[in-house]
Amino acid sequence: MSRWQPDSRRRLQEAAVELYAEHGFSETTVAAVAERAGLTERTFFRYFADKREVLFGGEDALRAALVDAVAEAPRGAGPAELADAGVGAVVRALEPRRAELRRREPIVARHPELRERELTKLASWTAALREALEARAVPPRTAAVVASARVALLAVSARRWLADDGEDLAATVAADLAALRAST
Amino acid sequence: MSRWQPDSRRRLQEAAVELYAEHGFSETTVAAVAERAGLTERTFFRYFADKREVLFGGEDALRAALVDAVAEAPRGAGPAELADAGVGAVVRALEPRRAELRRREPIVARHPELRERELTKLASWTAALREALEARAVPPRTAAVVASARVALLAVSARRWLADDGEDLAATVAADLAALRAST
DNA sequence: GGCGTCGATGTCAGTGACTGTCATGACCGT
DNA sequence: ACGGTCATGACAGTCACTGACATCGACGCC
C-alpha cells in the first residue's frame, strides 16, 4: 500500500476546475486547490509551472500528434495538404473532448490571464506546424505563412464549435475555410 | 515650478527597457525600474497594470487606427478590402517605428511571459478588426475568419520585417500574402 | 493674500504566487 | 536487513500587486 494516493496530477486538475468555476480564478488560491486535492501548495508547483497551467493539460500530446501527422503525410503533398494533415490530426483528437472543453471554456473566457495562456498554446502549435512543414521541405516563408493561417483558422473554428451545438469540428473547419476562400 | 518631474510614464518605460535589456526581465524588480525613473514601486503600478505592460505602449492607438480605417473605407468594398484597409493603417503606423521595435524585440523574444503578452495584443487587434468588419455589414463568420487570417499574416510579416534588413513592412506583408495564396 | 480642493505621488501594511532547501518515510532491488 | 530513490511535506524567503491613507504643490475663488 502506497504512502500517498495516486493520480496527484489529475486530482489537482479536477480540484482546480471545480474551484475556479465555483469561486473564480483570482479568488481561488493555489493553497486551496492543493488542499482539496489532499496535497500541499508546494506539490502543486511540482506538477504545474504556475497557477494557470493546471487548466491546460493535453496540449503537448496534441502538438506531438500534429507533428507526427505532418511527418507521415504522403509524399508529394503540397504545403496546404501537409498542413491539412496536421490540423486534421488535432481536429480528430479534439473531437471527443467537446464536453470537457466546454467545462473549461467559460472559466478561460472570463479571465484574461487564462486567455493569454491559451494563446500561448496556439502559438506553440503554430511553431510546431511551421517546423514540421520545413522538415518536409516547405520553404521557410511559405511554412510560416501557411502554419500561421491554418492554426488561426482552427482557433476560430474551435471557438464556434464550442459555442454552438451544431456540426462537429471537422465540418466547422471546412466551412470556415470555405468562407475564407469565398471572401478573397 | 512643479513638484515632480513630468513624463513619469515615459521615464518608467525607458527605465524598464534599459534594465530588462541589461539584466533580463525576471532578474529586474519593479522597485528597481521605479527607482531608476525616480519614482516608487507604487507609482509604477498606477501607470501600468503589471510588470510586463510597461513594454507595450502604443497598442491601443494602433487598434484605434485600425478600426477607423475600416470604418472609413470606401463604400462597396468587400471583406478582404475592408480588412486590407485596417491592416494597412497599422502597417503605416508601424513603419517608422522599426528601430524602436527592434530594441524591444530581443527582450520580448527571450521571455515567454512577454511573448504571451504580445500575443494578447495581437488577439485584441483581431477582435477589433472582426468587430469593425461586422460594423461594415460583413457577416459574423466571414468577419471572424478574415480578421483572424489577416492579423495572423501581419504578425508573421512583422516578425520577418524586424528580423531582416530588407523591405519595408508593407512590401513584406504583400509578399507574404502572395506566398500564402500561391501555396493553396 | 488666504483658503479649500484637486491631483500626482509617497508610505505602509498586507496577501498570495512562486522558489530553494532540507527532512521524511514508504518503496525497490540486492 | 540495507542503502538508494522518489514523491511529498515543512519552512523560510522574495517579489508582484493592492488598498488605505498621508502629503503637498498647483490652481481657482473670494
Q: All 3 cell numbers of residue A179? A: 468562407
Asked if B115 lies within 8 A of A120 by C-beta distance, the reply is yes
All structural domains of chain B with their residue ranges:
8-54, 58-183
Nearest nucleotide over every DNA/RNA strand to the A9 CA, judged by C1': D7
CA distances to A107, A129, B42 from B55, in Å:
27, 29, 18
Distances (CA, A) of B70 to A129, A137, A145, B142: 31, 38, 23, 15
| Fold exhibited by the domain B58-183 | Tetracycline Repressor; domain 2 (1.10.357)
Give the tens place of pLDDT for each residue, A102-111: 999 999 999 9
Mean pLDDT, residues A13-28: 96
Interface of A with B in 59-118 (CB under 8 A): 78-80, 112, 115-117
CA B98 – CA B92 distance, rounded (Å): 11
Please write the tens of the pLDDT for every residue from B27-44.
999 999 999 999 999 999
The C-alpha atoms of residue A73 and residue A76 are separated, in whole angstroms, by: 9
Mean pLDDT along residues A40-46 = 98
Quote the minimal CA–CA distance from B19 to chain A in Å: 25
pLDDT in tens, A8-20: 999 999 999 999 9
| H-only helix segments in chain A | 8-23, 30-36, 41-47, 59-71, 79-94, 98-110, 112-135, 140-163, 169-182
Q: What are phi and psi of B110, to 5 degrees?
A: -80, -15
- For the domain made up of B8-54, give the CATH fold: Arc Repressor Mutant, subunit A (1.10.10)
Looking at beta carbons, which residues of chain A come within 8 Å of B146?
A: 180, 183
For residues B32 and B35, give the distance between their C-alpha atoms in angstroms, rounded to a whole number.
Answer: 5
User: CB A99: neighbour CB atoms within 10 A?
Assistant: 7
Q: pLDDT band at residue B5, thresholds of 50, 70 and 90?
A: confident
State the Cα–Cα distance between residues A47 and A12, nearest whole angstrom. 9
Query: Please, what is the angle between helix A140-163 and helix B140-163, to 10°?
Result: 150
Are B176 and B160 in contact by the 8 Å Cβ rule? The answer is: yes
Q: What is the pLDDT of residue A1?
A: 43
Protein CB footprint (7 Å) on chain C nucleotides: 7-13, 16-21, 25-27
Using a cut of 0.85, tell me whether the model's pTM lies above it: yes
